[in-house]
Amino acid sequence: MMNWLDSHCHINDEAFRDDLDQVLQNMVDSDVKKAMIISSYLDDYDFALKIKKEGIDFKHALGIYPGDVDDVDEDLFNEYVKRMKEDECDAIGEIGLDYHWNKENKERQKEIFKRQLLLARELDKPIIVHSRDAIQDTYDLMKEYRVRGVMHCYSDSAEMAREFVKLGYYVSIAGPVTWKNAKEPLRVIRGVPLDRLLIETDCPYLTPAPKRGTRNEPAYVVYTGKKIAEELGIDEEDFKKKINENYQMLFGL
């Protein structure tokens, strides 16, 4: 029996401070045995490193979030770099571009993204990319500064997903694929080769059906995984095996 995994979660978030032990136990009970914890702040990262649970293999990513680039000066940037270089940091992310929340600082966002791409290349660590309303600029930079990595919580077109796959990137699918109105996410999963797919919760956000409306948590990645396996007409065990292989290929080196 293969286990499930969550390739992108924020269990270091405030939203889990009161019942983290239960959330971790729910992972064990749901057979979610691997998870990548994403940190956007240094204190979140320090906290994430302390999260342990018997039977669960946690990995850690640290990155400067595109929404925060205006708050990061050179000293702080260097503090991030220092930690990214350490062995406990398995991936650089989430990094990228977000023009939904801020269109005024595009050049600054691109500069910080570019610098982190170069850093990932130098450190030979995979990237975890956030892109919102900025897909073309994201693509252009990821094409120019090519490293191994994943488009997290992918929410753009199936056509564009295939372009990222052509560059060697993975595409990670979150809860929205389970929602009633899901249309494009279903085209995405059919358009991306199985050896380039990943699954995630991005919890506490984007809760999959049937839990939509409540706080998301890693255990719920099972709903997303089962839905995708069903839509693709793949045996659940085979699907889990594939997802585990992909996760290992991307983050296990």
What's the closest the beta carbon of residue 221 comes to Zn ion, in angstroms? 13
Contact pattern for Zn ion over residues 158 through 197, marking x by CB under 5 A: ----------------------------------------
**Residue (of 172, 140, 142) closest to 156 by Cα position:** 172
Distance CA 242, CA 225 (A): 11
CB 226 within 8 A of CB 189: no
Choice between 65 and 229, CB closer to Zn ion: 65
**Which DSSP category does 184 fall into?**
H
Choice between 101 and 166, CB closer to Zn ion: 101
Residues 197-216 that bind Zn ion (CB under 5 A): 202
What's the closest the beta carbon of residue 85 comes to Zn ion, in angstroms? 22
What's the closest the beta carbon of residue 153 comes to Zn ion, in angstroms? 7
Distance CA 164, CA 176 (A): 20
What's the closest the beta carbon of residue 17 comes to Zn ion, in angstroms? 17
Residues 14-53 that bind Zn ion (CB under 5 A): none
Binding residues for Zn ion, rule CB under 5 A, total 1
Q: Sheet containing 91-98: give its strands across.
A: 4-9, 32-39, 57-62, 91-98, 127-132, 149-151, 170-173, 197-199
Contact pattern for Zn ion over residues 52 through 91, marking x by CB under 5 A: ----------------------------------------
Choice between 6 and 219, CB closer to Zn ion: 6
> Token pair 């992108």 is at which residue?
8
In the chain, how long is the greatest CA-to-CA distance? Answer: 51
Residue ranges in contact with Zn ion by CB under 5 A: 202
